Amino acid sequence: MNHKAHSFLATLYAADCPLNTFDSMTSGNVALVSPLTTPGYAVDGAATLGVLDCSDDDWTHGQEMGLVTFEKSSAALPLLLYFRHSEDGYRLYVRSGAHFGEGVFATTHGLVEVKPIKQQDPTAWRITQASSGNAFDLTTCEGDQVDIKLESKSGPWGRNALYPVGDYSVCHTNATGSTLKLVIQERSVDWLNPA
């Protein structure tokens, strides 16, 4: 199979908000709740993928109630990702911002995080079209936007609410898979392309 023909650069959106790491959208400590236990335990969420979608009033309300422990920084930009096709599925690599060169991993805490690549390849994801449930195929995809779902061996890519300011990405066996909008930036991108 020609893996290059199936590899591409793209951004992801959840509910029309760009997906990025919390440390790219906020300042201060980002504490998130692990979705794997009840009650959940707090984990460092700085490198977790998520969205912020709220009014200033919601932000103030969340901070006053102690639900939000961090400050909003500049407007969130979409994170550019390289979707590298392989026999196991797609592995996602960051191609913009402070995490350039890192990979997207489903963690043992049940979160979807961006981390440096060491001995382990980034998580392999199976991509399906949200409307049909069929496997996503870049070579037959018309247009540059498509609603997708992602799933790894750990489970589906889902979203947990970060009330009242947005949500964060999770991946575990009991997660409810969520639909993400894939916006393709460039097709047939080779692994060595430094874009």
Average pLDDT per block of 10 residues along the chain, 195 residues long: 90 92 90 86 93 80 80 81 95 95 96 94 96 94 95 96 90 96 94 54
Just give the CATH number of 3-187: 2.80.10.50
Instruction: Identify the helix (H) or strand (E) that includes residue 158.
Output: strand 155-162
Contact 32, 42 (CB under 8 A): yes
DSSP conformational letter for 139: G
pLDDT at 193 (0 to 100): 47
Query: Given its phi and psi angles, is residue 86 left (phi above 0), alpha (psi -120 to 50 degrees) or beta?
Result: beta
Closest by CA position to 4, among listed 194, 195, 192:
192
| pLDDT (tens digit per residue) in 33-54 | 899 988 888 899 999 999 988 6
130/72 Cα distance (integer angstroms): 31
- Helix or strand run (H / E) with residue 14: strand 8-14
Residue ranges per structural domain of the chain: 3-187
Helix-strand-coil percent breakdown of the chain, rounded to 5? 10, 45, 45
CA 8, 172, 21, 182: dihedral to nearest 10 degrees? 30
Average pLDDT, the chain: 90
Q: pLDDT tens-digit profile of 134-160? A: 999 999 998 999 999 999 999 999 999
Q: Which of 90, 9, 81 is nearest to 49 (CA)?
A: 81
pTM comes to 0.92
- Strand-pair partners of 170: 111, 158
Q: Enumerate the H helices of the chain as residue ranges.
A: 3-6, 22-25, 56-64
